[in-house]
A and B are shown apart, each in its own frame.
Chain A
């Protein structure tokens, strides 16, 4: 966008490329320039719509298609039979249940491990604080599949291959950074003067924490927990490597589904798997967009 309105900014260009706060656009007559920019904007939206949403819609249609021949844009025959066949499949039902067992366990384990640390990182300045905070980045510095391979090699000796605990650990590893950095940023954003004021009027340290600090940091913690839940719920590659053949969660089941089931069944299963993600992310959306995620990634 920016490259288009290069030179003639003094005339009409500012209307669209201009700053939202600086100039009111209302009441001006459209110029050739502003119309071109607008058309370009619409074009970008259409391309982005196709690129971002297109694949999802195309897959969703498949879940209801009885007969769909190339090159038709829509199925010629619609059906719901794939839904009943997925619901009737025992192993698929079991993997759905497993996913809902792992995700809460991982979320609470991760919270229990990381939240006290997040508080300490934001409130106490101890030697090695920065080094330790950065060292947690190790979980993200290693490319995931390479890390899982290394973990799996040792998991044989630790008797963790194919166990519930092994899968929990693999899923937990990827969530430590969210669960520490985002709440650390949230705790750091609370002015100490608020806590001191509460203490001055006689509140004990625990009371200060639960009545002042925690409620103010709650949105950040909430976002971290949702991201952790989803990270666990959607994690496929590590679970695939460590959990097989005993623990096959929903996303791991997709690998087999794609290869061995009709496309329509895989589409139905995809929609089912996406539902929790869509709901939970919608809850966290406001905070994630508001910069909670971005804040967490700038080490302070």
Chain B
């Protein structure tokens, strides 16, 4: 019964990724033979493997610019999304006012909106004639920068898209901490920040790690948000990858970029799996 999904993953993820690794190392036979027919500027290994494709891609200053832009946007997005999810989650957990409920309802709005539309909406909102510029104009700040088509717009878009998942995870994590624990800490004189630090934070490491890793991997693999809201260069790797593949007819170079992004994500994914395994071990001991 468990075979079908595992087989789908093996055939349509394991196999293509394996073939892509071989292709980036100069192996143009087997499953790569069709794509190799029309590929431009291909590096082929006569025997063994060649790293020529990697050398070419990493030697390209534009690609290096994209790589730094990707790392930068990913880190900033993770930081802001974790911070925002914790703040909103804590507020909802500790306060039962109408304001808190409004905040939690607002923060999940992006779930209802397709990413393509969100990206386009964010672009027009922060564009040269968008709402933010209009607002700045009316309060007299005429030199307010245009954020549309800059990496800032990409960061804003990525945050917008990732906040609901973060808030849902943190709210659920924080709600699983019993009231009695928080009250006990407060009654014995702990301030609120102290309670957060010594009770809520240690009990919510896993949800936090999940939010950070999923956000990071999402940003690394995103195309729509940077394509629609970002600058032409440097932009995120996802955009240049698709360009090299479809527009420049250089699938090998595109797949090299994919491997670079995979390597970045592998680091993040390892943390996630490790944290989950650790949590599972701990809960199997206690319960």
Contacts from A to B (Cβ < 8 Å):
1-3, 5-7, 9, 13, 16-22, 38, 41-42, 44-45, 48-49, 51-56, 58-59, 62, 70-73, 112-114, 116-117, 119-121, 126, 129-130, 132, 134-147, 149-158, 169, 172-173, 176, 179-180, 230, 233-234, 236-237, 240-241, 244, 251, 254-255, 258, 263, 266, 270, 273-274, 277-278, 281-282, 288-289, 291, 293-295, 297-300
| Cβ of B169 under 8 Å from chain A | yes
Could you pull out 20 A-B pairs where Cβ atoms are within 8 angstroms? A2-B192, A2-B193, A9-B192, A48-B103, A48-B107, A52-B163, A58-B121, A117-B4, A117-B6, A137-B273, A138-B14, A140-B217, A145-B223, A146-B258, A147-B16, A153-B255, A236-B114, A251-B116, A273-B114, A298-B206
| Cβ of B57 under 8 Å from chain A | no
Residues in chain B near residue A281, CB distance under 8 A: 111-112
The answer on a CB contact under 8 Å between A58 and B130 is: yes
User: How large, as a class, is the contact surface on chain B?
Assistant: 35 or more
Contact A143-B265, Cβ < 8 Å, known A18-B94, A241-B246: yes
Q: How far is the CB of B153 from chain A (nearest CB, A)?
A: 11
The answer on a CB contact under 8 Å between B115 and A236 is: yes
Contacts from B to A (Cβ < 8 Å):
1-6, 8-9, 12-17, 19-20, 23, 30-35, 87, 90-91, 94-97, 99-100, 102-103, 106-118, 120-122, 124-126, 128-131, 133-134, 137-138, 160, 163, 165, 168-169, 171-173, 175, 179, 182-183, 186, 191-193, 196, 206-207, 210, 214, 217-218, 220-224, 227-228, 237-238, 241-242, 245-246, 251, 254-255, 257-259, 261-262, 264-266, 269, 272-273, 276, 279-280
Contact A154-B32, Cβ < 8 Å, known A2-B192, A20-B95: yes
Residues in chain B near residue A300, CB distance under 8 A: 280
The answer on a CB contact under 8 Å between B114 and A233 is: yes
Classify the interface of chain B: helix, strand, loop or mixed.
helix
The answer on a CB contact under 8 Å between A176 and B160 is: no
Assembled-state Cα–Cα distance A241/B254 (Å)? 12
The answer on a CB contact under 8 Å between A241 and B124 is: no
